[in-house]
């Protein structure tokens, strides 16, 4: 047991008091974990576009004051009653979704959509008692997706914490808590390209670059990046992208351009933008029936569309043996699979350093937001121990 177990801890946290306003470093009180919970000391956290989206509060119900952050690495400080798979001192990654281990989804090899712990962006409290573990002078501060890693200490449901190899550098593997695994798993676990195959990746942000990295690891020979910003191609080359298409450079639908480039379509495509048109293009650019051969193209949707969007394509695209799939967090189960992804990095099979473009101290966390808003960073690591 740590010498702070069972006690309230006072520490620094970056609090968002209002939508779109700079975060403020405040002293917060972090309550001890209750049954089924874990209190983590966060050593490194990184900024994801999802944090920025909900901080701006565009298109969703604002919930403030709030502590954002959901990509991080830390050490278990204490555990609540009933927690057996973690102990103080364990190195761990908190994750915005979870694995209770008991529901039908957790028991199925086909799903990672835990009934109890799947992501809930509207919830600002802990799941069991509907109360916050953060406060400032008695005033509750809301949680974010059950993680709130922009704090030196945070309380997380134990099912949302993956125990990892203590030798793994937390300032690198912390980026696996969200976007990198989402794109990587979409390719490796869902699209499953074969060595020598062709893959089109729509959107070359962090998730798309991770999808390209998955294609590189899988041995794809042609990795075609599709993006509206041509300057992204140069960076994407580091992730295995060896061809590039900007839809704005053509006077025909991009799926037709890709089909012409690849003699009928790519073997796999991964869509990482959330644009409904990109989703349709990603599906229609995969290989269909040609010259009496069966189609084999598989398209995987990763991006989250607007709530009123509708996917429209002709049914013949399915009858011609194209397959359309969706994925959540790359089909990784957090507690079961994330430690294995960390080991893939430790063996040198997965390169994480190239995703990390900047590092800032916790006191300069707003700089990380500025860099992302300007499109200058893929992942910015925030050091908690300045």
| Active site (annotated) includes residue 216 | no
Mean pLDDT of 316-325: 86
Active site residue 114: yes
Q: Is the pLDDT of residue 291 over 70?
A: no
Is 70 an active-site residue? yes
The structure tokens listed for 188 are 């490796």
114, 160, 181, 380: which one is catalytic?
114
Note the pLDDT of residue 289: 55
Return the pLDDT at 1. Answer: 54
- Flag the least confident range among 54-68, 88-102, 176-190: 54-68
User: Mean pLDDT across the stretch 293-318?
Assistant: 83
Average pLDDT on 217-241 reads 96
- For residue 46, name the pLDDT band (cuts at 50, 70, 90): very high
Whose CA is closest to 279, among 297, 299, 253, 260? 299
- Is 49 annotated in the active site? yes
Query: CA angle 345-39-148, nearest 5°?
Result: 75
In this structure, of 92-101, 208-217, 291-300, the range with the lowest mean pLDDT score is 291-300
Query: Is 272 considered catalytic here?
Result: no
What does the angle CA 364 – CA 367 – CA 369 come to, to the nearest 5 degrees?
Answer: 125
Domains observed in the chain = 9-177+352-383 (3.90.180.10), 182-328 (3.40.50.720)
85-101 mean pLDDT? 97
**Residue 332 reports pLDDT greater than 80:** yes
Whether 181 sits among the annotated catalytic residues: the reply is no
Q: How confident is the model over 142-156, as a mean pLDDT?
A: 98
Determine whether 178 is an active site residue.
yes
Among residues 71, 99, 152, 213, which one is catalytic? 71
3-class SS of residue 192 = coil
Given the residues 37, 45, 50, 222, select the one marked as catalytic.
50
| pLDDT over 90 (residue 290) | no
Active-site residue flag, 45: no
Candidate from 193-202, 271-280, 301-310 with smallest mean pLDDT: 301-310
pLDDT of residue 385: 84
pLDDT computed for residue 59 by the predictor:
64
pLDDT in tens, 192-206: 999 999 999 999 999
Give the confidence band of 61 by pLDDT, cuts at 50, 70, 90.
confident
Average pLDDT over every residue of 137-146: 97
Q: In the structure, what pLDDT confidence band is assigned to residue 316 with cuts at 50, 70 and 90?
A: confident
- Residue 58 pLDDT: 78
Q: Quick check: is 71 catalytic?
A: yes
Instruction: Compute the distance between CA of residue 251 and CA of residue 272 in angstroms, rounded to an integer.
Output: 23
Tokens of 260: 């012409």
Q: How confident is the model at residue 292 (pLDDT cuts 50, 70, 90)?
A: very low
- 11-27 residue pLDDT tens: 999 999 999 999 999 99
Catalytic residue among 106, 160, 272, 380: 106
pTM of the predicted model, to two decimals?
Answer: 0.93
3-state secondary structure 326-345: ECCHHHCCHHHHHHHHHHHH
What pLDDT is stored for residue 294 in this prediction? 47
What is the percent of the chain where pLDDT is above 90? Answer: 87
Query: Would you state the pLDDT for residue 60?
Result: 73
CA gap 226, 233 in Å, rounded: 9
Q: Give 174's pLDDT tier (boundaries 50, 70, 90).
A: very high
Residue 300 has a pLDDT of: 97
């Amino acid at each position: 047991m740590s010498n702070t177990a069972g006690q309230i801890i006072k520490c620094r946290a970056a609090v968002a008091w209002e939508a779109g306003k700079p975060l403020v470093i405040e002293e917060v009180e972090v309550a001890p974990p209750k049954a089924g919970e874990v209190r983590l000391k966060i050593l490194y956290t990184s900024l994801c576009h999802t944090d920025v989206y909900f901080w701006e509060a565009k298109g969703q119900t604002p919930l403030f004051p709030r502590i954002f952050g959901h990509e991080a690495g830390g050490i278990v400080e204490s555990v609540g009653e009933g927690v057996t798979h973690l102990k103080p001192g364990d190195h761990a990654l908190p994750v915005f979704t979870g694995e209770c281990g008991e529901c039908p989804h957790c028991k199925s090899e086909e799903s990672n959509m835990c009934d109890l712990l799947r992501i809930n962006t509207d919830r600002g409290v802990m799941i069991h008692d509907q109360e916050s573990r953060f406060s400032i002078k008695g005033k509750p501060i809301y949680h974010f997706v059950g993680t709130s890693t922009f704090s030196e200490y945070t309380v997380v449901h134990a099912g949302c914490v993956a125990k990892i190899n203590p030798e793994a550098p937390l300032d690198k593997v912390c980026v696996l808590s969200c976007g990198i695994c989402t794109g990587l798993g979409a390719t490796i676990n869902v699209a499953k390209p074969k060595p020598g195959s062709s893959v089109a990746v729509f959107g070359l942000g962090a998730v798309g670059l991770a999808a390209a990295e998955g294609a590189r690891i899988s041995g794809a020979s042609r990795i075609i990046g599709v993006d509206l910003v041509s300057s992204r191609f140069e960076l994407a080359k580091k992730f295995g992208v060896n061809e590039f298409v900007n839809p704005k450079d053509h006077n025909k639908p991009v799926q037709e351009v890709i089909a012409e480039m690849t003699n009928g379509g790519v073997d796999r495509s991964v869509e990482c933008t959330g644009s409904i048109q990109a989703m349709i293009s990603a599906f229609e650019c995969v290989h269909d029936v040609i010259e009496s051969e069966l189609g084999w193209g598989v398209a995987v949707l990763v991006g989250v569309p607007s709530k009123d969007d509708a996917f429209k394509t002709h049914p013949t695209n399915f009858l011609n043996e194209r397959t359309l799939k969706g994925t959540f967090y790359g089909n990784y189960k957090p507690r079961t699979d994330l430690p294995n992804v960390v080991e893939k990095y430790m063996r040198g099979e997965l390169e994480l350093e190239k995703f990390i473009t900047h590092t800032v101290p916790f006191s300069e966390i707003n700089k990380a937001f500025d860099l992302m808003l300007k499109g200058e960073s893929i992942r910015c690591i925030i050091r908690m121990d300045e």
